[in-house]
Amino acid sequence: AQRVTQPEKLLSVFKGAPVELKCNYSYSGSPELFWYVQYSRQRLQLLLRHISRESIKGFTADLNKGETSFHLKKPFAQEEDSAMYYCALTFSGGYNKLIFGAGTRLAVHP
């Protein structure tokens, strides 16, 4: 079965510090991995997609198939990055059905 694990419920850092939000997945095939973000009082929205290999708002994430990980990184955190971050996967034939992790709350302090 497909599964996404985010081991940290809360990650607390100071402004300017590097950030790494961990995500591991289990799926025997080739998944597509995403990070979704929910800012305070806003709806859940897509942050980035592994296939795109983009940097969005300074965040990057690399799919490591050997370690089955898709960690989200940013070299210098900003206060406006404070939000709830969800790692999610879809799978071939999965009609974009998202399997989500439990989420990590990122708190960036001034």
Partner 1 sequence: GAGVSQSPSNKVTEKGKDVELRCDPISGHTALYWYRQSLGQGLEFLIYFQGNSAPDKSGLPSDRFSAERTGGSVSTLTIQRTQQEDSAVYLCASSPPQGYQAFFGQGTRLTVV
Where along the sequence are the contacts to partner 1 (CB under 8 A)? Answer: 4, 6, 32, 43-46, 49, 86, 88, 90, 95-103
Nearer to partner 1, 77 or 85 (CB): 85
Least CB distance to partner 1 at residue 63 (A): 15
Nearer to partner 1, 17 or 102 (CB): 102
Nearer to partner 1, 9 or 28 (CB): 9
How far apart, in whole angstroms, are the C-alpha atoms of residue 62 and residue 52?
Answer: 10
Least CB distance to partner 1 at residue 72 (A): 15
Least CB distance to partner 1 at residue 84 (A): 10
